[in-house]
Amino acid sequence: MSTLWSKGTQATDLVEDFTVGNDRILDMRLARYDVQGSMAHIRMLESIGLLTSQELNTLTAGLQEILDEIEAGTFVLEDDVEDIHSQVELLLTRRLGDIGKKIHSGRSRNDQVLVDIKLFLKDEVLRIREEVLELFGTLQKLSEQHKDVLLPGYTHGQIAMPSSFGLWFGAYAEALADDMYMLRGAYDVTDQNPLGSAAGYGSSFPLDRQMTTDLLGFSGLDYNVVAAQLSRGKSERAVASAIGAVALTLNKFAADCCMYMSPNYGFIKFPDELTTGSSIMPHKKNPDVWEIMRGNCNRIMSVESQISMLCSNMPHGYHREFQLLKDILFPALELMHKCLMMADYMLQHISINEHILEAPIYDYLFTVEEVNRRTLEGMPFRDAYKSVGIEVNEGKFRYQAPSGHENGQLTPADLNHTSLGSLGNLCTKLIASKMQKAAEF
């Protein structure tokens, strides 16, 4: 196998297979970033006199040709080449001669792969940001569209107090705004340039690290060259934590949907083509999409712990285990994209039940409303609470709904919920402003 570090000896096939693992496959996702990093690096090398202007032009043209192949899908990682870094340098040398060997001056594979991963993770976080914003918009639209439809709220799995579809959809929209702050934090951790730290102790070449920072679009540097290497694993963990937060929101929403789709609840439904049936029970419409999403979100949430365990007992500097971070994080990122896309797709086809409260099992949903009504009329709260409780125990409780309304015909406007964020005051625009602020990165 062709390696950048070969000194004439060759590892056995068994050792190579064990140590390389899936790294070559996962490296293909880093290909364009490796070329971008090399383009910035050689411009810097020319500025400090390690390349001539003609050499820079020749190498830039060669790298652009490789980048075009990557974008066209014709670039391949050859079977006997260890990784993406080796492949790019090999192609340049094969096509341009010895000049291709000059691109590695002042650079190690350690800071090279760090740059690749950070550029990749920045793009991934930005892509997830747009997907979260899309889902957020859908949830806010549904919240406003169905804000007048009441929904039973539950605590401890028991019927509790009136909620609404507006409140339900809006809650998950605002939860995504909180998650966006996590994504922004992960982006900030990742948005620091490690190039020039070499193997973790810098270089005796007069490298212009600020120049490569600007060329690559990083907002700042990992200044200390040892700290740059310490960021390996930390950036991945920050991103894992952020997508874990998004996954937790989706996990809970998926669990709600599985429950609400059940005939025992019957709160929401989806077209038959978005559900699955049973091989033996012809009446079944199973929430398979939401169940798979719930399970995949659990998997995504586990990634931060896996990364923490992988990196927890290594002293500073590079260690080969860092290679395994890609095995852990990259598939989780793909799952995150799929879950966000599917959640938005399913919500485009959701139908809600506007007659839920007509069922007599929800007669006690308004006990708190009745307690509050009696309190407003002058009865001490504890006395009002006790009197309603006695009526419930004796089977005599009847909510005194506003004139001309039955429980099942009530809307949030009929209930005295006007405080910020409550049934009658969803704060949709304020939540949109909160999301806009969180997404500014």
| CA dist., res. 201 & res. 406, Å (int) | 75
Nearest to 239 by CA among 332, 372, 353: 332
> pLDDT (tens digit, 0 to 9) for every residue of the chain, 441 residues total?
555 545 555 556 666 555 556 667 788 899 999 999 999 999 999 999 999 999 999 999 999 999 999 999 999 988 888 788 889 999 999 999 999 999 999 999 899 999 999 999 999 999 999 999 999 999 999 999 999 999 999 999 999 999 999 999 999 999 999 999 999 999 999 999 999 999 999 999 999 999 999 999 999 999 999 999 989 899 999 999 999 999 999 999 999 999 999 999 999 999 988 887 655 555 667 889 999 999 999 999 999 999 999 998 888 878 888 889 999 999 999 999 999 999 999 999 999 999 999 888 998 898 988 898 899 899 999 999 999 999 999 988 888 777 667 666 788 888 888 899 999 999 999 999 999 999 999
| CA dist., res. 162 & res. 268, Å (int) | 17
Nearest to 35 by CA among 64, 58, 69, 77: 64
Give me 267's structure tokens: 């709160």
Q: The CATH number of the domain where 318 resides is what?
A: 1.20.200.10
Whether the CB-CB separation of 290 and 261 falls below 8 Å is answered with yes
pLDDT of residue 47: 97
| Among 80, 105, 130, residue at a domain's last position | 105
Q: Determine, yes or no, domain membership for 133.
A: yes
Note whether 129 and 174 are same-domain residues.
yes
In sequence order, what DSSP letters do the residues of 190-250 get, joined into one string?
H-EE-TT-TTTT--SS---HHHHHHHHT-SEE--SHHHHHHTTTHHHHHHHHHHHHHHHHH
Q: Determine, yes or no, domain membership for 397.
A: no
Q: Determine, yes or no, domain membership for 225.
A: yes
Whether the CB-CB separation of 94 and 62 falls below 8 Å is answered with no
User: Rounded to 5 degrees, what are φ and ψ at 352?
Assistant: -115, 155
| CA dist., res. 278 & res. 281, Å (int) | 5
Nearest to 117 by CA among 11, 56, 34: 34
Hey, what's the torsion of the CAs at 119, 123, 126, 130, to 10 degrees? 180
| Beta strands 158-164; 150-155: pairing state | antiparallel
CA-angle at 360, arms to 358 and 363, nearest 5°: 95
pLDDT of residue 404: 60
How many Cβ atoms from other residues are within 10 Å of residue 120's Cβ?
Answer: 22
Which residues make Cβ contacts (< 8 Å) with residue 109, sequence separation at least 6?
A: 4, 5, 83, 85
Note whether 121 and 54 are same-domain residues.
no
**Domain assignment of residue 170, given as a range:** 117-206+218-354
| Among 312, 328, 354, residue at a domain's last position | 354
On the CB side of 314, how many CA atoms lie within 13 Å of its CA?
Answer: 18
Note whether 100 and 153 are same-domain residues.
no
Note whether 125 and 101 are same-domain residues.
no
Q: The CATH number of the domain where 64 resides is what?
A: 1.10.275.10
Note whether 43 and 132 are same-domain residues.
no
Q: Determine, yes or no, domain membership for 121.
A: yes
Tally of domains within the chain: 2
pLDDT of residue 317: 78
pLDDT of residue 17: 59
| Among 75, 105, 135, residue at a domain's last position | 105
pLDDT of residue 5: 47
pLDDT of residue 267: 96
291-296: long-range contacts (C-beta < 8 A, 24 or more apart)? 291/254, 291/258, 293/250, 293/251, 293/254, 293/339, 293/342, 293/343, 294/251, 294/254, 294/255, 294/258, 296/247, 296/335, 296/338, 296/339
pLDDT of residue 399: 81
Q: Please, which residues bridge with residue 2 across strands?
A: 81
For the chain, give the number of residues: 441
Nearest to 235 by CA among 332, 319, 125: 125
Which residues make Cβ contacts (< 8 Å) with residue 238, sequence separation at least 6?
A: 185, 186, 189, 190
